Amino acid sequence: MLEPTDALTCGVCGGAAFTHRPVLWPALVSEWQLSPSEAAYVDRQQGTTCNRCGSNLRSIALANAIRAYLRQEGALREIAERRPPVSILEINQAGDLSAVLSRFEGHVLASYPEVDIHRLPYADGSFDLVVHSDTLEHVVNPIHALTECRRVLKRGGGLCFTVPIVVGRMTRSRSGLPLSYHGGPGTRADDYAVRTEFGADAWTLLMEAGFAAVTIHAVAYPAATAFLALKSK
Ligand SMILES: [Zn+2]
């Protein structure tokens, strides 16, 4: 099914044509207590993809946040082809972006369970950029995790990430609620269990983690948003 593109451009490859395939399943919509319009935009975030490179809106929003940090011309793929010397820590594979990020000269991929975001095995001030995508909703202590991301950044470095956000409500913990999993219908792996449902106040966690400034990069708002948080210089 083709969707109107509303002049949307892919920040990963520069493409301008998109296709939508539904991805949310009924049990997840009900556990998450999404209204029909909320379910529609979350579905768009995950299921609307660039015809040329396959990135979904979530990855495109994240690419745009990374481009805002890098302040370089062109889509993220073109920037990566120039192999700029930017040290990037990618925590868990950032979906469609992983292949592009690995083109950067100073790229490191750290994956759970070998590397736990609550205890990153890197010295203070090691990276220009830290990137993760839809990871924070699964971790035990999101503020602690963000504080670790900040610790390993250089001064003036940036953290770029996505979490699924329902913009019409506030962040809530799922502790005490029935278990809910991402990944797909039938997924019951512990690392896919959702611990936090993020809402309009998601940016406040970044301030609590000590970041100096935050910008939000939206694609087809409210479908997809990504954060760029800066560590003070
Ligand atoms: Zn693309």
Instruction: Work out the average pLDDT over 68-79.
Output: 96
Q: Which two tokens stand for residue 15?
A: 């493409």
Instruction: Calculate how far, in angstroms, residue 130's C-alpha sits from the geometric centre of ligand 1.
Output: 22
CA–CA distance, 16 with 61 (Å, rounded to integer) = 14
Instruction: Give residue 104 CA to ligand 1 midpoint distance, Å.
Output: 18
Q: What is the pLDDT of residues 183-208, one digit of tens each?
A: 777 777 777 889 999 999 999 999 99
CA of 156 to the centre of ligand 1 (A): 29
Q: Are strands 153-162 and 127-133 parallel, antiparallel or unpaired?
A: parallel
Q: Give distance in angstroms: CA of 220 to centre of ligand 1.
A: 15
DSSP state of 14: -
- Residue 63 Cα to ligand 1 midpoint, Å, equals 10
pTM greater than the 0.85 cutoff: yes
* Residue 50 near residue 12 (C-beta atoms within 8 A): yes
- To the nearest 10 degrees (0 to 180), the angle between helices 57-70 and 36-47 is 70
- For the stretch 131-158, pLDDT in tens is 999 999 999 999 999 999 999 999 999 9
For residue 50, the CA-to-ligand 1 centroid distance in Å is: 5
